[in-house]
A and B are shown apart, each in its own frame.
Chain A
Amino acid sequence: MSDPKTTVDAKGQTCPMPVLMTAKAAKELASGETMLIEATDNGARSDIPAWVEQTGNELVESSEDGGVMRFLVRKK
C-alpha cells in the first residue's frame, strides 16, 4: 500500500476535534489520495467511520494499538 499523503495527529484531542481535523485535512487531498488519522479519544472509534460514511469517502483500514486508533482513509 502506498504511504498516506498526510497524517492527522489527533492524539489527545477530544470530540469533536478528531473529526474536525480530519475534515480539514481532507480538503487538502486530491481524489484518490489517502490520509492517516491517529486518535486516542474513545469517541473516535465510531466517529471517524461515521464521518467517512457520511462524506462518502473510503475507510481503507483501521487498527488499534496501545490506546492509539489508526484510520487510513481514501478521499473519494
Chain B
Amino acid sequence: MTDNPVNTEPESMTIIAFSGDLDKLWPTMILSSTAAANGMDVTVFYTFWGLFPLVKDDVRITGYDAMTKMLAGMNAPGMKKAKLSKMEMGGMGHWMMRKVAKKNNLMPPEDLFEMAKDMGVHMWPCQMTMDLLGIEPDQMVDGLGEPVGAATALKKMANSNISLFI
C-alpha cells in the first residue's frame, strides 16, 4: 500500500478562487470537497473573475451600467457557462471538456460545488468584487456566506495549514 506522502496534518484550508474558468473551477471544487471529506475546515473566497460562476444560471446579465453589463455578457455568469482558459475555440473547448468528463464519470463543477456546500465548505463572496461588478446578493446562488473583504480572507489564510490561489 502506498504511503501517504503528506506528513503534516493540516486542519484548515483556504482557497482564493480568482479564476472563473472551467479548468480552474474543477480543481477548486475537487480540492475543497475532498478536504472537507478529510475533516478539514475549508473556506473558498471568490474574488474578481471567480465571482461570476456564483451567479445563478438563469441570471444572464449583471451590472449597474453599460460597461459592467458588457463585462458580464463577455464573462457569461453562471457555473454551467464557464469557458476554458485555453483553446476554447468559440465554445467547442468547454463543450468537449464536459463531454469527456461525463464519459469518464467526473462530476461537473456545479455538482461538486453542491457537494462541497453539503459537506460544510464555507463559500465567501468578495464584497469588493460584488460592488465593482454590480453583482447583487439575490443574483447569486444559495448557501453562500456573508460577503467579506481581503482582510477577512487573509486572516483565514494566516490561520490555515493550506492556502491556495486558483
Contacts and interface: CB of A to CB of B under 8 A. Distances in A.
Interface of A: 12-17, 19-20, 22-24, 45-46, 49-51, 53-55, 59, 62
Given A15-B106, A20-B33, A59-B1, 17 more contacts: A14-B105, A14-B106, A15-B30, A16-B33, A17-B107, A19-B34, A19-B37, A20-B37, A23-B36, A24-B119, A45-B2, A50-B4, A53-B4, A54-B6, A54-B38, A54-B39, A62-B1
27 contacts: A12-B105, A14-B104, A14-B105, A15-B30, A15-B106, A16-B30, A16-B33, A16-B34, A16-B112, A17-B107, A20-B33, A20-B34, A23-B36, A23-B37, A23-B39, A23-B119, A24-B37, A45-B2, A49-B1, A49-B2, A50-B4, A53-B4, A54-B4, A54-B9, A54-B39, A55-B38, A55-B39
A46 B2 contact: yes
Question: Interface residue tally of chain B, by bracket?
Answer: 10 to 19
Contacts of B9: 54
Chain A contact residues, majority secondary structure: helix
Interface of B: 1-2, 4, 6, 9, 30, 33-34, 36-39, 104-107, 112, 115, 119
Contacts of B38: 19, 23, 51, 54-55
Nearest to A48: B1
Given A14-B104, A14-B105, A49 B39 contact: no
Nearest to A21: B37
Contacts of A23: 36-39, 119
A10 to B, nearest CB: 10
Nearest to B2: A46
